Chains A and B, each alone.
Chain A
Amino acid sequence: EAQVTQNPRYLITVTGKKLTVTCSQNMNHEYMSWYRQDPGLGLRQIYYSMNVEVTDKGDVPEGYKVSRKEKRNFPLILESPSPNQTSLYFCASTGGSSYNEQFFGPGTRLTVL
């Protein structure tokens, strides 16, 4: 089954404790991205990657890092999380015959205390 998976689905952590949210897709898509969803603000893009070893900032990159060492994986790293990063995070991928249509993962709800 074609899908985008994220882990963990739920995470509660404390300020300053580094964390990583994993994202993996099995569709051989070149393009992957991370969004955060906040009430009234819709989805805002954090980072995106056009292909392996190619990443770039989206609209709200501050406080986040990403890496793209393999085509299928695109982890989101919070080196020192802060409470304003409490949000719902979605990973998405695009490519192949469905170019420009983004397939979303199930979301990761992060709470930073």
Chain B
Amino acid sequence: AQSVSQHNHHVILSEAASLELGCNYSYGGTVNLFWYVQYPGQHLQLLLKYFSGDPLVKGIKGFEAEFIKSKFSFNLRKPSVQWSDTAEYFCAVNPNAGNMLTFGGGTRLMVKP
């Protein structure tokens, strides 16, 4: 069965620190990849997505992610976090042909001012 792993459950950083959140998936075929963010008390919002082409994807709010097919990974990065980035981040995967999204368990990020 397809699965998505986010190894960091909780991350605490100071403002201006660099961020990298790991995401690995188990599906062997062609996949679409997503990162969603959930700010406290709010619904999920799309940060960025990868369908094909350049494996380095840039999203909103200075976030980017790199798809490394050989490692089945899609790690999220930001060079310098802000207090307003405090949120929960979810990686999600779905095969090209379908609409099923499988989510990782989420990573709670706290940025200290």
Interface range on chain A: under 10, 10 to 19, 20 to 34, or 35 or more? 20 to 34
Q: Is B43's beta carbon under 8 Å from chain A?
A: yes
Chain A residues whose CB sits within 8 angstroms of the CB of B105 once the complex forms: 40-42
Contact B43–A90 (Cβ < 8 Å): yes
Interface members, chain B 37-59 (any A CB < 8 Å): 42-46, 49, 51
Contact A31–B104 (Cβ < 8 Å): no
Contact B99–A101 (Cβ < 8 Å): no
Interface range on chain B: under 10, 10 to 19, 20 to 34, or 35 or more? 20 to 34
Q: Is B12's beta carbon under 8 Å from chain A?
A: no
Which of A16-24, A73-81, A104-112 touches B? Answer: A104-112
Contact B103–A43 (Cβ < 8 Å): yes
Per the bound structure, the CA–CA distance linking A48 and B9 in Å amounts to 27
Given known contacts A31-B99, A48-B100, A42 and B106 CB-to-CB distance under 8 angstroms: yes
Chain B residues whose CB sits within 8 angstroms of the CB of A43 once the complex forms: 44, 90, 92, 101, 103
Q: List 5 A-B contacts (CB under 8 A).
A: A40-B9, A48-B100, A50-B99, A94-B99, A101-B46
In the A-B complex, the 9 residue pairs with the smallest Cβ-Cβ separation, listed nearest first, are: A42-B103, A43-B103, A42-B105, A104-B44, A104-B43, A106-B43, A31-B99, A42-B106, A42-B104
